């Protein structure tokens, strides 16, 4: 079991460029999440998908779009990157069922720099 995988691991963009961050999980989890992590700010939720076919905004959704492609995959898209989007992006998943409902498992992250 690879758990949660993310690609790419590193990315440098110029302002205005677009890109898609990929995430996949092999734990058969129902829910998936995208976070960004900035120094002094902790982890902030961008978007989440409670189940296949649904997506909802989190705390900081502006400038991002998401797609829940199937139960395994959840992608995050930056349509026009801005320097303020320089951050480390983490994908997470959770079973969202039973006693372990809230336990989220994280991927290794994508380190994005926007110049």
Partner 1 sequence: GQQLNQSPQSMFIQEGEDVSMNCTSSSIFNTWLWYKQEPGEGPVLLIALYKAGELTSNGRLTAQFGITRKDSFLNISASIPSDVGIYFCAGHPYSGAGSYQLTFGKGTKLSVIP
Residue 53 found at the interface with partner 1 (CB under 8 A): no
Please state, in angstroms and rounded to a whole number, the distance separating the CA atoms of residues 53 and 19: 22
Is residue 48 part of the contact set for partner 1 (CB under 8 A)? Answer: yes
The answer to whether 4 contacts partner 1 (rule: CB under 8 A) is yes
- Measured distance CA(94)–CA(114) in Å, rounded: 30
Residue with tokens 């994508």: 110
Among 27, 43, 52, 69, binds partner 1 (CB under 8 A): 43
Question: Considering only 11-19, 61-69, 72-80, 86-94, which stretch makes contact with partner 1 by CB under 8 A?
Answer: 86-94
Contact between 102 and partner 1 per CB under 8 A: yes
We find the least distance from the C-beta atom of residue 19 to partner 1, in angstroms, to be 20
The per-residue b/e assignment along 74-83, b for 16 or more CB within 10 angstroms, e otherwise, is: bbbebeebee
Q: Is residue 61 part of the contact set for partner 1 (CB under 8 A)?
A: no
Measured CA to CA, the distance from residue 37 to residue 107 in angstroms comes to: 13
**Is the Cβ–Cβ distance between 22 and 73 less than 8 Å?**
yes
Residues of this chain that bind partner 1 (CB under 8 A)? 4, 31, 33, 40-43, 45, 48, 50, 56, 58-59, 90, 92, 94, 96, 99-109
């Amino acid at each position: 079991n690879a758990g949660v995988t993310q690609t790419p691991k590193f990315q440098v963009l110029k302002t205005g460029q677009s890109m898609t961050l990929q995430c996949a999980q092999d734990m058969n989890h129902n829910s998936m999440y995208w976070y960004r992590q900035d120094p002094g700010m902790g982890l902030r939720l961008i978007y989440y998908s409670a189940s296949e076919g649904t997506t909802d905004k989190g705390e900081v959704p502006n400038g991002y779009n998401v797609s829940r492609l199937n139960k395994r995959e959840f992608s995050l898209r930056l349509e026009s990157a801005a320097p303020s989007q320089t951050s480390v992006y983490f994908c997470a998943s959770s079973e969202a069922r039973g006693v372990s409902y809230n336990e989220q498992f994280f991927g290794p992250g994508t380190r994005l720099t926007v110049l």
